[in-house]
Amino acid sequence: MRSPSYPVLPARGLTAAVVLALTAGLTTAVPAAAHTGGPPGPAAKPYMGWSSWSMQSSKYPGLNPDGDYSYLTEANVLKQADALAARLKPYGYTYVNLDSGWWRDKDWKPGFDAHARQQADPVRFPHGMKAVADHLHGLGLKAGIYLPVGLEKEAYGDGKVPLWHADGCTTADIVHGDLRTTNGWDSAYKLDFAKPCTQKYVDSQARMIASWGYDFLKLDGVGPGSFKSGENYDNVADVAAWQKAIAATGRPVHLELSWSLDIGHAADWKKYANGWRVDTDVECYCNTLVSWENSVDDRFTDTPGWTRHAGPGGWNDLDSLDVGNGAMDGLTKAERQTYATLWAVAKSPLYTGDDLTRLDSYGVKLLTNREVIAVDQGDSPPARPVTPSDPQQVWAAKNPDGTRTVALFNLADAPAAVTADFSSLGLTGKASVRDLWNHENLGTYTNTITEALPAHGSRLFTVTPRGGTLTTTGYEAEAAANTLGGRASVTDCSACSGGRKVGDLYTGGSLRFNDVVVDRPGTYLVKVAYISGDPRPVNVSAGSGAATRHTFPSTGDWGTVETVSVPVTLKAGSNTVTFDSGSDYAPDIDRIDVPSSPRQ
């Protein structure tokens, strides 16, 4: 859920928000059962399932007849759960995640128990939240629930609301004296973890959802992130408290963070949580669930910086995978396949937000392709771009068995050919190619594979090397033989080969390698090692040829080196290769590696 959702809601009732606790069952403590490790820990693999928010947030006709976000009801959730269990569970989809609003009425007015904890809206969930979880468990599914970070303003109750099992602590004892606000919507008072009562409040929330039997919590509006920065929006302590609180319940509850988390705090998110949304909502808040532009396509830009942070225990969450019904999704077939391809190779959690009772046949094919699911769920690392972030781009990962997962993407608005050069995968010569979407062995290719992709289209392959090892010649950016232009300068870089790099490539800065020698003329896939804390363009040219502008994907910070391969046309003998910022800011360059032979 993202920021636009709150300002459009009615604000009435804010000052009289103390709600009586009604449910005696809430006080039943769940016996502590310590997690003993052994079989897969939490989030050993990206989770799979369904989430309610896409349908809640859409203006698609008929989804929310009782007002915005009203789709979230017990009846609807169970209907979707039944469909999930029947159609998708065999493929690994098990989580049914209730998103925002389960404690809010149709006018979005929240309800809280006597201890300032969110309480099920009796219209939406007439049997309470535990009943839902029980039903889900009965279907062999897992239950997910949602909370915003902080103490919601309406729960404050003049500071006098007693906390559950907290030795006289009240809501005044857990927030700052100035009632500073926090989260992506400023809808809560920031919790003050310097106060001894505060952890008890989080504990009480955790105990509550654990007691209901939930297996998953999405903690939303978390900062830095959620379009917020600064001290008031730093919720790292909240997240740490949640991890501690969940552990204390003894129930393994997956903790997922939302939204657009600050990559600068990746280490914190990895330490305390099992997944983090790398971007804003994929939903378009329009007449469909999502849209290609400004929704799905942003992920191609925003994911690469996060790639190396994903792994067992915590994953980069690209948000809902709404590919199940073309008309509702608002996407072409090609866009839907591309959407699913990126999610799979990035090893994002795979949770659809579609109406599972209305999947179309193509949607079922996309969601139930076992080879593609295996890319997401298997033991290979997440893929990263091996080319610049040009309209036609290639992402790849080296799998533990030596094969490569290779995704071709055409993000242009027109059909285009996309080529994966084996040298960009560190390979040369022959390789056999399997088409995962089409379950087809395509045969053996030499040095490249090219396919025609529709506008916004994709292909997904497993490439098995059958050739030799690529040999390359390296050239360090900092070498004295190179020519620096503009403000470009050599600086120290502990992550870089040779311990140095060339930086300050901006507004006219340039780096020219003066003596790149090859035996044969042709197009070479030059592997560029670079650092760029955000996606940056650079103009690459060889000799007297015109420059080609490429955007290098983010490396996530200014201390990490990544590589992309760039086609450069070289003559036999000595060549110059130039990286020029033009009028922009370009990445820092560590080195280039030039294959010994050109693209065939």
Partner 1 sequence: MQKPPSRRGFLTLAAATGALTALPAFTATAAPRRPTAVPAADTRHQLWWRAPADEHTLIRQGLPVGNGRLGALATNDPGRELLLVTDVTLWTGGLNDTLDADGQFPYGREDFGSLTLLARLTVDLPDHDLSAVTGYRRTLDLAQGVVTTSYVHAGVTYRRQLFASRPDDVIVLHFTQSGGGRHTGTITLAGTHGENGTAESFAGTFPGGLRHGAAIAAHGSGGTVRTTGSHLTFTDCRELTVVLSGGTNYVPDAATRYRDPGLDPRALARTKVRTAARHSAGTLLRTHVADHHALFGRFALSLGTSTAEQRSLDTWERIQARARDGEPDPELEAAYVQFGRYLMIAGSRDSLPLGLQGPWLDGNDPDWMGDYHTDINLQMNYWMADRTGLAPCFDAFTDYCVAQLPSWTDLTRRLFDDPRNRYRNSSGRNAGWTVAISTNPFGGGGWWWHPAGNAWLCNSLFEHYEYTNSRTHLEKIYPLLKGACEFWEARLLTTTLPGTGREVRIADSDWSPEQGPLDAKGITYAQELVWALFGNYRTAARELGRDAGYARAVGALREKLYLPVVSPTTGRLEEWMSPDDLGEPAHRHLSPLVGLFPGDRIRPDGSTPADIVSGATALLTARGMNSFGWANAWRALCWARLKNPDKAYQLVVTNLRPSHDGGNGTAPNLFDIYEAGPGRGIFQIDANLGTPAAVTEMLLYSRPGHLELLPALPDAWAASGSLTGAGARGGFLVDLRWRDGKPTEVRIRSVGGTTTSVGYAGTSRTVRVRPGEAVTLRDLVR
By the criterion CB under 8 A, which residues form the site for partner 1? Answer: 333-334, 337, 413-417, 435, 437-438, 440, 442, 450-455, 457-459, 521-523, 544-546, 548, 569, 598, 600
* Long-range Cβ contact pairs of 102-105 (< 8 A, separation 24 or more): 102/72, 102/129, 102/145, 102/146, 104/69
Rounded to a whole number of angstroms, the minimum distance from the CB of residue 581 to partner 1 is 19
Taking the least distance from each CB to partner 1, the nearer of 312 and 522 is 522
Rounded to a whole number of angstroms, the minimum distance from the CB of residue 62 to partner 1 is 28
Taking the least distance from each CB to partner 1, the nearer of 195 and 333 is 333
Rounded to a whole number of angstroms, the minimum distance from the CB of residue 304 to partner 1 is 23
Assess contact for 462 and 479: CB atoms under 8 A.
no
Taking the least distance from each CB to partner 1, the nearer of 53 and 343 is 343
Assess contact for 265 and 224: CB atoms under 8 A.
yes
Taking the least distance from each CB to partner 1, the nearer of 275 and 598 is 598
Rounded to a whole number of angstroms, the minimum distance from the CB of residue 279 to partner 1 is 25
Rounded to a whole number of angstroms, the minimum distance from the CB of residue 213 to partner 1 is 41
Taking the least distance from each CB to partner 1, the nearer of 16 and 546 is 546
- In whole angstroms, give the CA distance from residue 2 to residue 436: 34
Per DSSP, the three-state class of 550 is: strand
Give me the DSSP letters along 1-69: --GGGTTTS--TTTT--------GGGGPPPPP------S--TTSS--EEEESHHHHH---TTS-TTSTT
Taking the least distance from each CB to partner 1, the nearer of 27 and 332 is 332
Taking the least distance from each CB to partner 1, the nearer of 336 and 501 is 336
Tokens 């080879």 belong to residue:
371
Rounded to a whole number of angstroms, the minimum distance from the CB of residue 237 to partner 1 is 47
- In whole angstroms, give the CA distance from residue 92 to residue 45: 11
Rounded to a whole number of angstroms, the minimum distance from the CB of residue 336 to partner 1 is 10
Rounded to a whole number of angstroms, the minimum distance from the CB of residue 145 to partner 1 is 37
- In whole angstroms, give the CA distance from residue 114 to residue 22: 8
List 458's β-bridge partners, or say none.
409
Backbone phi, then psi, for 81, in 5-degree steps?
A: -65, -40
Angle between helices 370-377 and 333-345 (to 10 degrees): 30
Taking the least distance from each CB to partner 1, the nearer of 41 and 521 is 521
Give me the DSSP letters along 78-106: HHHHHHIIIIIGGGT--EEE--TTTTB-T
